[in-house]
Each structure stands twice: as structure tokens, then as C-alpha cells.
């Protein structure tokens, strides 16, 4: 495969377009070009790996994806795993958030199941978790983790975003995350759990990518 060497480049190991947009939003300020799996696949004429996220921790799943895509592409690769943890449900669904209502993963069924289990609950405290794992070189890895506290709404509101965004109200707000993402003024200043984790990891990631580029000429 052939890639431009004009800028620092990083493969984001996910096919989720919502997540990709958030990563590119932060990376642009760090001078890093984010490559999608589709772009790398098209250039190399190889199918995107289907990584089984079967670890029981966020860190384990993020590591599985980053390592698999690094091996596949030969490029520094960043992966994330995220989930929602509800206090009244003992921290569930957590790492199993995407498959909460079973296979195949279905966002609508996940929300319906959660709202049914939360019916009548007065304690609606919850938080989103994002864990990032970057494989930069064969010997260099970086990680970051951040949380977004809030609560579960009694019904879905808003259509922007993905996952549980339409039933999660961030702390300090009266709108769901989906509604915030629909509002241009709110969206421009709001930081999701993923954006906070990205801002945490990108300064060191930029330095590591620069060191690697100088060492390899990539």
C-alpha cells in the first residue's frame, strides 16, 4: 500500500462514522490525518478485518482492535471501546452495551430493553466510558480513559448521534446527548466522553507519531 508522507497519519480502527467524525474533529487540531478503514481498504484492495470484540473489559476490546488493524495495515492504529454504565443496573450494560439486547447489535432494541428495565427507577444515574488504545510502533502503545456522567431519561429524545445518545442526559444539562448534537450552538462546545479521551491522548500520540516518522521516514 502507498500512503502520503506529507502529514502524520493514523488509522482509526472502526467503521462507525459517528466515532470517526469525533476523532477527526480532535485530530485536525493536532496536525494528524485520520485514515478510515474504508480508505485504507480501498487503497490496498483488501477486506476490512472483522475483529471479534470478545474481551470482558473496555481496554481489552480496544487493544484487540488496534492490534488487529495495525497488523493488517502496517500503520499506527487507534481504537476505542465505549459503553454506558447504569448505577441502578449494577453498572450494566458496560462493556456489553452494543449487544445489550442480544445479537446482532441493534441500537433501538438496546434502548427499549434499558428503558423497560429502568421503569419506575428513581435512581437514574449513569455514565459513558471511553477507553482508547493506540498501537504506534511494535514497541510503543498509548492509552487514555475518560467518563461522561449523567442520567437516563424516561423516554428517547432527539435523533442525532448513535447508541444510547437519545436516552442519556449529561450532567448539567436538561437535554439528551442526541438533542445536544442536534443543536449547533451546544454541539460546538460540548465534549463527549470520547472527545475528552482523545484530547487526553493526542498530545502524546502526536509526539510519538513524529518520533516514528523521523525514525522511519514514513
Residues belonging to the active site? 81
Sheet holding 8-12, edge to edge: 32-35, 8-12, 77-86, 125-137, 140-152, 168-170
As given in the structure block, the three cell numbers for residue 176 are: 439528551
Distance between CA atoms of residues 83 and 81, nearest Å: 7
DSSP output for 101-160:
T-SSP-HHHHHHHHHHHHTT-S--EEEEEEEEEEEEETTEEEEEEEEEEEEE-SS----S
Determine the Cα–Cα distance for residues 177 and 183; give it in Å rounded to an integer: 10
Q: Cell 441493534 sits at which residue?
A: 106
What are the backbone angles phi and psi of residue 85, rounded to the nearest 5°? -120, 120
Using only C-alpha atoms, the chain has a radius of gyration, in whole angstroms, of 18
Alpha helices in the chain (DSSP H): 17-27, 37-44, 58-73, 107-118, 177-182, 184-189, 193-216
Amino acid at each position: 500500500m502507498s500512503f502520503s508522507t506529507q502529514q502524520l497519519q493514523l488509522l482509526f480502527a472502526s467503521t462507525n462514522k459517528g466515532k470517526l467524525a469525533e476523532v477527526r474533529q480532535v485530530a485536525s487540531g493536532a496536525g494528524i490525518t485520520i485514515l478510515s478503514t474504508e480508505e485504507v481498504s480501498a487503497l490496498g484492495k483488501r477486506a476490512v478485518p472483522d475483529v471479534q470484540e470478545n474481551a470482558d473489559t473496555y481496554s481489552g476490546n480496544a487493544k484487540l482492535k488496534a492490534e488487529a488493524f495495525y497488523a493488517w495495515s502496517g500503520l499506527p492504529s487507534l481504537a476505542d471501546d465505549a459503553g454506558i454504565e447504569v448505577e441502578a443496573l449494577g453498572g450494566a450494560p458496560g462493556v456489553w452495551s452494543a449487544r445489550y439486547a442480544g445479537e446482532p447489535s441493534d441500537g433501538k432494541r438496546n434502548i427499549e430493553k434499558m428503558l423497560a428495565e429502568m421503569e419506575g427507577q428513581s435512581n437514574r444515574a449513569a455514565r459513558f466510558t471511553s477507553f482508547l488504545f493506540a498501537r504506534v510502533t511494535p514497541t510503543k502503545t498509548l492509552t487514555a480513559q475518560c467518563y461522561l456522567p449523567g442520567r437516563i431519561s424516561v423516554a428517547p429524545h432527539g435523533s442525532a448521534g448513535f447508541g444510547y445518545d437519545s436516552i442519556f442526559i449529561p450532567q448539567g444539562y436538561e437535554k439528551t446527548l442526541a438533542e445536544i448534537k442536534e443543536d449547533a450552538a451546544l454541539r460546538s462546545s460540548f465534549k463527549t466522553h470520547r472527545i475528552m479521551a482523545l484530547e487526553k491522548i493526542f498530545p502524546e500520540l502526536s509526539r510519538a507519531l513524529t518520533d516514528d516518522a523521523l525514525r522511519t521516514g514514513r
